[in-house]
Amino acid sequence: MITALAGGVGAARFLTGLVKLVDEKNVTIIVNTGDDIELHGLHISPDIDTIAYTLAGIVDEEKGWGIKGDTFHCLTALGKLGQETWFALGDKDLAMHVFRTNLLKKGCKLSEVTAEATRLLGLNVAILPMTDDRFETRIVTKRGEIHFQEYLVKRQARDAVYGVKFLGADTAEPAVGVIDAIMNTTKVVVCPSNPIVSIGTILALKGVRDALKKTNADKVAVSPIVAGAPIKGPADKLLWGLRLEVSAYAVAELYADFIDTFIIDTADLAQKGEIEKLGIKVRVANTIMRTLEDKVHLAKIVLGS
Ligand code: FO1
């Protein structure tokens, strides 16, 4: 059994390789929901959808999110009605948000809706939202506090980051099955996702970090930082904002209290010794996933360490 902690695009790419080696039925993916946003009256869960669409083979591979070949007629029409269009919701993608919002309004939990959507997409993995409760990642900027999607997409990560806040972290409970999936598994994999706003959100939930420390599972993390830069996304700006170094070492430090092994890219070989001093085993591999072979190769390293 494998339990993965995941954010969006980087995690989805890695998981594509993993499910080539492991039966989907033995994989549980705990997904960040701090990026979730309500727009046009719809509940959007970008990281859940990115992972589900990728594993179902329908993701727009170039962007890493959304559905391949999607059109944007509804968004254009919304624009003509004076609505905000900065978040590019495709027509087919919108169907997922309508489906989710309807079921949530009927009283279903996000985890129940996600399980149903996963089944309807033909997947056998368990995709678990980290929480069914409200949890929102907010970025503190000079102009005030804004939703993570507003920072990333609307303002294109232009603002200097003064801090990151997790609204709901004090009250949100992990979704049913989250703690169990960490405690009763043989391996926990921390995917190559943003350590602050993807994995950091999951770790901020009550009981998650303790479960990771207590579980007998082998715990492996893959560095999302290669040669001093994130593979994708604004992790560098967020790390700077929190006065942290942008390096594989800095990520290892954030996870040092619970992981057994850290996988770093060959470009970061020089940091191996320093990371080992944190009491973590280090494996060096190619972590850049361009092809399916790269993804499978990285998954093999993770499974073997
Ligand atoms: N990312 C963008 O950079 N621009 C967009 O307009 C955008 C729309 C979007 C719609 C649905 C969805 O599931 C994801 C979308 N993303 C978009 C990606 C998303 O903002 C980020 O990938 C994650 O939230 C970070 O993990």
- Condensed to tens digits (0 to 9), the pLDDT of residues 164-193 reads 999 999 999 999 999 999 999 999 999 999
**pLDDT for 98:** 98
Protein residue closest via CA to atom 12 of ligand 1: 46
220 — pLDDT class (breaks 50, 70, 90): very high
Percent of the chain residues topping a pLDDT of 90 = 94
Protein residue closest via CA to atom 13 of ligand 1: 46
Protein residue closest via CA to atom 9 of ligand 1: 88
**pLDDT for 119:** 98
- Kindly give the distance from the C-alpha atom of residue 217 to the centroid of ligand 1, in angstroms, as a whole number: 32
Residue 209 belongs to domain with CATH number = 3.40.50.10680
pLDDT digit string (tens) for 25-63? 999 999 999 999 999 999 999 999 999 999 999 999 999
Atom of ligand 1 nearest to the CA of 87: 6
pLDDT of 235 above 90: no
Residues in contact with ligand 1 (CB, 6 Å cut-off): 7-9, 35, 44, 46-47, 49-50, 65-66, 87-89, 93, 149, 152-153
Instruction: List Cβ neighbours of 270 (8 Å cut-off, separation of 6 or more).
Output: none
- Kindly state whether residue 84 falls inside one of the protein's structural domains: no
**pLDDT for 241:** 84
pLDDT of 305 above 80: no
Pocket test for ligand 1, best of 33, 76, 87, 238 (most atoms within 8 A of CB): 87
* pTM of the predicted model as reported, rounded to 2 decimal places: 0.97
- Kindly state whether residue 155 falls inside one of the protein's structural domains: no
Protein residue closest via CA to atom 16 of ligand 1: 65
- Kindly state whether residue 12 falls inside one of the protein's structural domains: yes
What average pLDDT does this structure show over 136-142? 97
- Kindly give the distance from the C-alpha atom of residue 284 to the centroid of ligand 1, in angstroms, as a whole number: 30
- Encoding tokens for residue 106? 């009927």
Atom of ligand 1 nearest to the CA of 156: 3
Can you say whether residue 107 is alpha, beta or left, with left for phi > 0 and alpha for psi between -120 and 50 degrees? left
- Encoding tokens for residue 285? 């591999």
- Kindly state whether residue 80 falls inside one of the protein's structural domains: no
**pLDDT for 238:** 87
What average pLDDT does this structure show over 7-24? 97
**pLDDT for 29:** 98
- Kindly give the distance from the C-alpha atom of residue 269 to the centroid of ligand 1, in angstroms, as a whole number: 32
Domain extent for 10: 2-59+110-134+170-304
231 — pLDDT class (breaks 50, 70, 90): confident
- Kindly give the distance from the C-alpha atom of residue 46 to the centroid of ligand 1, in angstroms, as a whole number: 6
Give the chain's domain count: 1
- Kindly state whether residue 121 falls inside one of the protein's structural domains: yes
242 — pLDDT class (breaks 50, 70, 90): confident
Q: DSSP string spanning 186-233?
A: SEEEE-SS-TTTTHHHHHHSTTHHHHHHH--SEEEEE-SEETTEESSS
pLDDT of 251 above 90: yes
């080539």: which residue's tokens? 20
- Kindly give the distance from the C-alpha atom of residue 65 to the centroid of ligand 1, in angstroms, as a whole number: 6
Crossing angle between the packed helical segments 91-105 and 110-120, to the nearest 10 degrees: 140
- Kindly state whether residue 91 falls inside one of the protein's structural domains: no
- Kindly state whether residue 72 falls inside one of the protein's structural domains: no
* Average pLDDT score, the chain: 97
- Kindly state whether residue 99 falls inside one of the protein's structural domains: no
Protein residue closest via CA to atom 2 of ligand 1: 153
Q: Indicate the burial class of 23 (C-beta count within 10 angstroms; 0-12, 13-18, 19 or more).
A: exposed
- Encoding tokens for residue 11? 């995690």
Task: Using alpha carbons, select from 247, 252, 248, 261 the residue that is nearest to residue 217.
Answer: 261
pLDDT of 304 above 80: yes
State how far the Cα of 83 lies from the Cα of 90, in Å rounded to an integer. Answer: 15
